[in-house]
Structure 1
Amino acid sequence: MESWLLEFRFEKSLLLDTRTLGTFVESLVEDVQEITCAGKVVYRGMEHCEKTGFKVLMQEAEHGNSSALIQGSSLGLLTIDLHVRDNYKEFEEKIKALRKKIFSYNRIVRRKTLEFETLPSITRGDDFSKYEKTTCNLLMEHDFDALVYDHDSPYQNIRIFHSKQYGNCLFLDNDMNLAESDLPYTVAITGNGKVDYRGKTVLILGGGDGGILNYLKDKGPKMITMIDIDEMVIEAAKIHLRGICGDSLDQYEGENYKVIVGDCIEYLKEYISKGQKFDYIINDLTAIPISTEPVGSFWDFLRSILKLSMQVMATGGKYLTQGNSVNMTGALKMYEEQLNKLDAKVSFTKQTVCVPSYHELWVFYTLWKSADSS
C-alpha cells in the first residue's frame, strides 16, 4: 500500500464562517473524488469547527482500493492523507494535479517558503520496511530493493538488504551496522591511516562482517586475532558481504590472522591470566548506548570491555573504537566520563567521519594509557 501525505495552510478565519467553510470543504471533497477516485464520504465531522477543526473520511465502496482522510485543524493546517492499495504508480501525476488545484483555492495561504510539489509516497505492507529512525529522530528511507538474508542466530536477528547505492547492508537486531560502501567506517575505526600496523599484534573485538580484518591483514601486522561470538554473522558475511570482507573469512586462519568464534570477555580474561598483550585493540562490538544515565546492561558491558582491554594492552599500545552519532552529545559525554573512571589513566582523541549508509556523521575514539598511568 502507498500513502501520500499532503499539507497546506488555510486562513483560520475560515472556521468562523460555517457557510463558507462548508463550500470550501465540499470543493475539497469533489476535487479529491474527481482526481484520485477516493470514493464516497463515509464520515463528515463539522461540529465546533472554530475549536476542533473539521474531518472528512472517504472510502472507495466497491473495491476498497483507495481512501482519503481530509483534516483541517483549528491552527489552520489542512492535511490530506491518501492511501492506495493497487495500481498506485498512476497516482503520482494525479497527486501533483490535486495539489496544484488546491493551491488555487482563495482561502489557501501561499507562503513565501519553498514548497515541495508533493511529499513522496510512503510504502507500507511490503515484506520488509525501507524506513529507519536516525539517532536524532528523523525518518530515513533506504533504497532497498531486496532482502537477501534473514535469520535469527542464538544471539540476534541478522538481516542483509541490497541497496542500489550502497550494495549489501548488514542489520543486526534492526540496527544498521555496515554496508559494502562503508570503507570510511573501517578506515576510521582503525585509526584513519595514522596507525602503523607493521610488525604489531592486533586484537579485534567483534567485527564479524570481516571488514577490519580484511583491511588490516595486508598492512603488515605480525598477527591479528579476531573474536566474534556469532558465527552466523561471519558465515553470512562471507557469502553476502564480499564487498566488505573480501576473501578474509573464507578460512578462519591465515598466515597472519586467526578468527575465533567465542565470547570476547572470556578470552580477555584468559589473556590477562596468561599475561598476553596486544599492541592494538579494536572494539567493533557496539556503539555507545543512548540513555539518560550511564546505567544498564549495555553500559556495564561497555565498562567491562574497557577495563579488561586496558589490562591486555601493551605499553605504548592503543585502543580504537566507534562512538556514536555526532548528534548524541549526551551519550558521548557520558562515555568520556567513564574513561576518566578507569583504573588506568587514559588520554584520547576523537574524530568525526561521514559513513555513507548511516546518513549521519559518526564519532570514533582512539585511547592510550597516559604517561603517568600506574
Structure 2
Amino acid sequence: MLNYTEALHDGYAQSFRVDRLVHYEKTAHQELAIFDNASFGRVLALDGVIQLTERDHHVYHEMIVHTPVFGHGEVRDVLIVGGGDGGALREALRHPDIRVTVVEIDAQVVETARRHLSMICGAAFDDPRVQIVIDDGTAFVARTDRSFDVILIDSTDPVGPAKALFSPEFYAACRRRLRPGGALVTQNGVPLFQGEQLRASMIALRRIFRYATCYLAAVPTYTGGPIALGFATDDPGRLGEPEALAARVAASRLEFRYYSAAVHLGAFALPPAVLRLLEP
C-alpha cells in the first residue's frame, strides 16, 4: 500500500494512504496526482502538496467565494485566477446572477477535474455563465480590458509559475481591473508556518489598496492551523455590515456546510500573533 507524503514545511510532513491511485501525470507545468483515501475521499495534489480533499474542500471554497460575494452585496462578475479544480467556480455559480471567468495556466488541471473531480466541481465547467481561459493569470490580468466586482486568487503556494501571483505588480494590475467597491481575495497560506508570506502580501496590498486585512478558515488538511485569505478593497464597507450581511445570506436561501454570516464576521477576528504579522 502506497503513502502520499506532503512535506511542504521544513521538518514536518503529513502522509495519506493511497487506497487507489486515480490519476497521475507530469503536465507541462507541474506534477498532478489524484487518489482516494479512506478518511478524506478523493484527493488532489500538485507538486507534492495537497490542494483539496473531498472531505474538507468545502471550507476553503465556501470561504474564498462567499465572504467577498456576500460582503460586496452586488456582485455580477467574478474572476478566478487559478482554481482549475472547479471548486471555487461551483460555489460562485450558486449565486444565480453571477458570471465567472476562470483563468488557469494548466489545461490538464481543468481536464482532469472534469474527469475525476465531479464531486468537487459538479457540472460547473459547462455552465453558460462560465468562460474558461487557459493562460497565465498575470498575463491575462495585464492584457484584459474587462472589469470585475470580485477577483479571487485561488492559487498554489508561491513556488514556480505561481510566484508571480503574489507580486506587488500583479496586485496592482488586479486593482486596475476591479470596479468601484470591488474586492480582491488572495490565498496566503497558514500563518503559523507561512507568516512571512502573509506579511509580504499585506505590505504590498496596503500600498496598493485603501484597506487590506486577512481572514481565517480552518481547513483540516492544510497543515499548521487556519489558512489566511487576504482581503483588499478601496471600500472597507464591503467587509459586510452585520445586519445587512445577515439579511443577504438569509435572502439567498443557500445552505452551507461551513460559511454563515456569523462565521464570515468571526473570520476577521484575528489572534494577536496574526495581527502582529499584519502590523506595518
Using CA pairs under 8 Å that are at least 6 residues apart, name the structure with larger relative contact order, 1 or 2. Answer: 2
Fold agreement, TM-score > 0.5: yes
Does 1:189 find its partner at 2:64?
yes
Q: How many angstroms does 1:226 deviate by?
A: 0.9
Mapped pair 1:203 → 2:68: no
Q: 1:225 to 1:335 in 2, by over 3 A?
A: same
Within 5 Å, which residues of 2 pair with 1:137-156? 137-156=11-30
- The alignment partner of 1:356 has SS state of coil
SS in 1 for 2:207: coil
1:202–1:221: 8 Å Cα contact kept in structure 2?
A: no
Tell me which structure has the larger Cα radius of gyration: 1
When normalised by structure 1's length, the TM-score is: 0.57
- Partner SS, residue 189 of structure 2: strand
Aligned residues of 2:157 and 2:163 also touching (Cα < 8 A): no
Equivalent-residue separation in structure 1 for 2:4 and 2:112 (angstroms): 21
Report the aligned-residue RMSD: 2.4
Contact 1:197 1:219 in 2 (8 A): no
Q: Which residue of 2 aligns with 1:248?
A: 124
1:350 corresponds to: 214
The structure-2 alpha-carbon separation of the partners of 1:158 and 1:277, relative to structure 1 and needing over 3 Å to count, comes to same
Cα distance in 2, alignment partners of residues 301 and 282 from structure 1: 11
Q: Which runs of 5+ in 2 are unaligned?
A: 237-280
Q: Please identify which structure carries the higher helix content.
A: 2
Structure 1 vs Structure 2: percent identity of aligned residues?
23
* Equivalent position to 2:204, from 327, 338, 359: 338
Q: Does residue 283 of the first structure (1) align with residue 153 of the second (2)?
A: yes
Whether 1:172 aligns to 2:46 is yes
* Letter in structure 2 aligned against 1:270: R
Kindly indicate whether the alpha-carbon contact (under 8 Å) linking 1:355 and 1:362 is maintained by their aligned counterparts in 2. yes
- Mapped to 2, the partners of 1:340 and 1:195 lie a distance apart of 19
Structure 1 pair 200–212 and aligned structure 2 pair: CA distance change class (3 A): same
| TM-score between the two structures when normalised by the length of structure 2 | 0.74
Which aligned segments of 4 or more residues in structure 1 are displaced greater than 6 angstroms? Answer: none
- Alignment coverage as a number of residue pairs: 231
CA contact (8 A) 1:198 1:222 kept: no
Partner residue of 1:157? 31
On the 8 A contact 2:149/2:182 being kept in 1, the answer is yes
What is residue 76 of structure 1 aligned with on the other side?
none
Specify whether residues 298 and 217 from structure 1 end up closer, same or farther in structure 2 by C-alpha distance, changes over 3 A only: closer
Q: What is the CA distance between 1:319 and its match in structure 2?
A: 0.5
Q: CA deviation at 1:231?
A: 1.1
User: Structure 1: which 5+ residue stretches go unaligned?
Assistant: 1-125, 290-295
